[in-house]
Amino acid sequence: MQSFPVQYLDITKDVLVPLNSQLDKNIFAFEGQSLVEKAGKLQNKVELFDQQGHLTDYGYIDILKHVVHLSLTYMQMLWMINYAAFSVYDSQMIKQGLNGFTAEQIISIKNCFNSPILKPFKFVADILDFDHTYKRANEILAVASELKTRSFSDDEISKLYDFCDLQGEYGKKINGVYERGVAFVMLHEYAHHALGHKTRTIENEKAADEVAIQILYDGSEPNQKFSSAAGILSVLASFILIERSVLSDVTHPDTDDRIFSLLDKVDSNHAAKLFPLAKYYLTQWAYSNHVEDFPHNSNDLMEIKAFMSKYKSGLNK
């Protein structure tokens, strides 16, 4: 069976080990402890499901075995969503930086980054063309969305590697954000366990978000904070793109509200950097749902919040 490209992520080494220094060891069971000491504690590992596509769930805690389960299909989708969003985001930033340059000058810059000496930064040349980058991002999101409803053949999974340059310089950047996103999913589930939640309610979900954000974002080193915030944002946005709705069920807050809450919680400079990403995700949601009056040209967070509130009020009438 062909594996997804992102299966290369070592959950224990790449996610659990960095988190273990920030987590309360008392919530985990470890080798060598007695059955009494292990009782009711989480196993310090993750089990994967949805090995080849067809998303059945995102993640959950097995309350009998006390182990977190994560969907490998969701992890693959999350990586691709991150790649699509960040390639557009970075392309926009470069486009703004080159404002005023002639077409010939831009071609010259692109050729420089294609040279062997700058091979590690070839991704800059790849995203200099904003229209091409945006089109490719849409293709990536379209393929990712297919994983929700069906399994992929080995040949189709092999083709995913065209979208997932994990070992390239740009892929490594995406991995950093993606790993923090996976950590947030796990921490959210850990928080339910640590807080003693027996049922899923909106208040419990908000509390789990609060704890997960506090551990992952507030507890990050300064040079990791933005990656942590972007990883959290990508998870929340993925629910919008996968479900094609900002409305949640009776046990979860609306996803756009969770995104806005995150922007309110992070440092102002990080919120400013996250805003274009959040707007991109919401623009994709609006496009897929034919919401033609979404203010995608607005740089005012309050305007977008007001629009989303009005939009949802209209749905509830």
Give 93 or 265, the one with higher predicted confidence: 265
Rounded distance between C-alpha atoms, residue 189 and residue 292, angstroms: 36
Alpha-helix residue ranges (DSSP H) falling in 21-102 = 35-38, 72-97
Q: What is the pLDDT of residues 121-137, one digit of tens each?
A: 677 777 788 888 899 99
Token digits for 138? 């849409």
φ, ψ at 244 (rounded to 5°): 60, 35
The stretch 239-249 carries a mean pLDDT of 89
Most confident of 38-52, 82-96, 169-183, 276-290: 276-290
Q: Does the pLDDT value for residue 306 go beyond 60?
A: yes
The secondary element (H helix, E strand) that includes residue 220 is none
pLDDT at 58 over 80: yes
Mean pLDDT, to the nearest integer, of 47-62? 90
Residue 33: pLDDT over 90: no
> How far apart, in whole angstroms, are the C-alpha atoms of residue 50 and residue 216?
26
Confidence grade of residue 286 (pLDDT, cut at 50, 70, 90): very high
Looking at the predicted structure, is the pLDDT value of residue 284 above 90? yes
Please write the tens of the pLDDT for every residue from 97-116.
888 878 788 778 777 777 77
Closest CA to 7 of 56, 57, 50: 50
The amino acid sitting at 251 is: T
Segment holding 131, helix H or strand E: helix 130-146
The predicted model scores a pTM of: 0.88
What is the 8-class DSSP label of residue 199? S
